[in-house]
Chains A and B, each alone.
Chain A
């Protein structure tokens, strides 16, 4: 299977002197296409830092991050922004939709940045809205949607642009049980049917239970990596 994420001996520290914190300490991992992986660990364990690294949002102190066969350490900020746009889909804990745009406009936004044609955008977005059960909600603004519905729009935004993989940081943290189940079902379905790669940073046992691979991290180190 094609490798989409690879980290080699990652080190990242925050702070200086006595208050120096090793957020990541010699982290090496490989994630292949089609994986449904959860990065798990207590607060402050370094899972979010790791997610930031493989999301191309933060720079490493040492080591390499190779995403979709590209060593991102060699990219400048502008190139990195373009790389994220083309290769990575993000799903945030707080949904982070653009409040002034409708569900449809939010969903098509990354495609718009990519320069996808209007017809293609329309086709993809309407299909995905139908798939996630948001048909008829396309003109609703985020404020007019429930948390679960907003998160589904966020997933469409991440997915519609056909990224190499999707990173999701605590995607279910603000959702009730029903919405969590529906969202996980959706992601799982996309993973199974579209072979889409998902990487979660989570505490949520419901997410952990559905993950195919679980990477345990503590004090900036991977302490366990298991396939379920």
Chain B
């Protein structure tokens, strides 16, 4: 078998240029697919991280009817019991109680429909990282009487700057309207136009002062383990409210992750399939060029298994050389852009509209490198089968004309 491999190895280098082209094509195929997979993973990771860390938290708790009836009086039930449960759970890092209301924001430049989120700034900052994403001002850390934090998009639309006045209008529990002027103390920018244009933050204490009530519609929770397990633990203690981990609350994001796994598999399959044809084509050409030689091997007594082994070995050699090169190049590319980010500023407008930062940090789970290596090596074995079959089908007489 050793000699078979030596022959296979030397056969691979008979036509150096052709072999180098095949090896380069395989390596390039692997590199490009790893790059695309890293790109997709980076996209999804960024979206999930941003959503969990800046927008929604790991777990959200609402009244069971909150999603269908957003009346201001539709608050969380048994709040005291629930808070005790949250405080006693070791897997919960922090939580933040929120007042939520649809409202309108009015300035001299226009009017926008918005969502008011009333928060305790300290608790909110312990759950979300929004305070670290302030483009101007602070996250409600202000001596202003009625401070408000708005998104960059809303600030652009309503021409708001720090200390600009904005009038918020929303409904009280008795259906009367509240109108109050707030002053901008901070402008956040998270690269998500939809969120920035719609969500404003005000102190919960000021809302209580305006409504005269302690109204909590939402509690967001930060966990230190898989959020779904913690959500189940809370539900086991008290199921009177709707307790959902982020992937249940926003299934489209969870679906996006699942889709990414599937699309990566499809992408890998397409590229491997294309590479397979490259290998088959090269080896078939090589077999046809060596028809006479293979005929001689058959004539002098080399059996079909050995001929097959020799040809498949040639295919595997291409894979063995190309795969580490492609995987290494892919790994280096992902590592580099994982640290320094891939600049997509040219497309930033469109990306921000969908909640993506223009600087994308590529990432790829280690398992994909191993999967891809195994996949390519398997493909090279498959790629060698047809040419090897072609070789063993040769009639030694036809191949060498005659003895």
Residues in B neighbouring A84, C-beta threshold 8 A: 299-301
Residues in B neighbouring A86, C-beta threshold 8 A: 301
Please state if B397 and A52 are interface contacts (CB–CB under 8 Å). Answer: yes
For the complex formed, measure the closest distance between the CB of B3 and the CB atoms of chain A, giving whole angstroms.
Answer: 6
Please state if A169 and B402 are interface contacts (CB–CB under 8 Å). Answer: yes
Does A109 lie at the interface of the complex (its beta carbon under 8 Å from any beta carbon of B)?
yes
Residues in A neighbouring B296, C-beta threshold 8 A: 90, 92, 96, 98
Known A81-B301, A90-B403; 19 more pairs at CB < 8 Å: A48-B402, A55-B403, A57-B299, A57-B397, A78-B304, A81-B303, A81-B304, A82-B301, A84-B299, A84-B300, A92-B403, A94-B292, A96-B293, A96-B400, A98-B297, A99-B293, A113-B302, A157-B300, A167-B403
Stretch at the interface among B6-14, B36-44, B69-77, B359-367: B6-14
Q: How large is the interface on A (under 10, 10 to 19, 20 to 34, 35 or more residues)?
A: 20 to 34
Residues in A neighbouring B299, C-beta threshold 8 A: 55, 57, 84, 90
Do most interface residues of chain A lie in helix, strand or loop, or is the interface mixed? helix
Closest chain A residue to B2, Cβ basis: A112
Does A68 lie at the interface of the complex (its beta carbon under 8 Å from any beta carbon of B)?
no
Residues in B neighbouring A157, C-beta threshold 8 A: 300
Q: Cα distance A113–B302 when bound, in Å?
A: 7
Does B151 lie at the interface of the complex (its beta carbon under 8 Å from any beta carbon of A)?
no
Please state if B292 and A96 are interface contacts (CB–CB under 8 Å). Answer: yes
Does A209 lie at the interface of the complex (its beta carbon under 8 Å from any beta carbon of B)?
no
Residues in B neighbouring A78, C-beta threshold 8 A: 303-304
Task: Give the interface of B toward A (CB within 8 A).
Answer: 3, 6-7, 10-11, 14, 292-293, 296-304, 306, 396-397, 400, 402-403
Please state if B301 and A113 are interface contacts (CB–CB under 8 Å). Answer: yes
Please state if A52 and B301 are interface contacts (CB–CB under 8 Å). Answer: no
Residues in B neighbouring A58, C-beta threshold 8 A: 397
Closest chain A residue to B12, Cβ basis: A100
Known: A57-B396, A92-B296. A110 touches B3 (CB 8 A): no
Please state if A85 and B301 are interface contacts (CB–CB under 8 Å). Answer: yes
Q: Which of A199-221 contact B (CB under 8 A)?
A: none
Does A190 lie at the interface of the complex (its beta carbon under 8 Å from any beta carbon of B)?
no
Q: Cα distance A99–B290 when bound, in Å?
A: 10
What are 24 residue pairs bridging A and B, where the CB atoms are less than 8 Å apart in the complex?
A48-B402, A51-B403, A52-B397, A52-B402, A52-B403, A57-B396, A78-B303, A81-B302, A84-B299, A90-B296, A90-B300, A92-B296, A92-B403, A94-B292, A96-B292, A98-B296, A99-B14, A100-B7, A105-B6, A113-B301, A113-B303, A157-B300, A167-B403, A169-B403
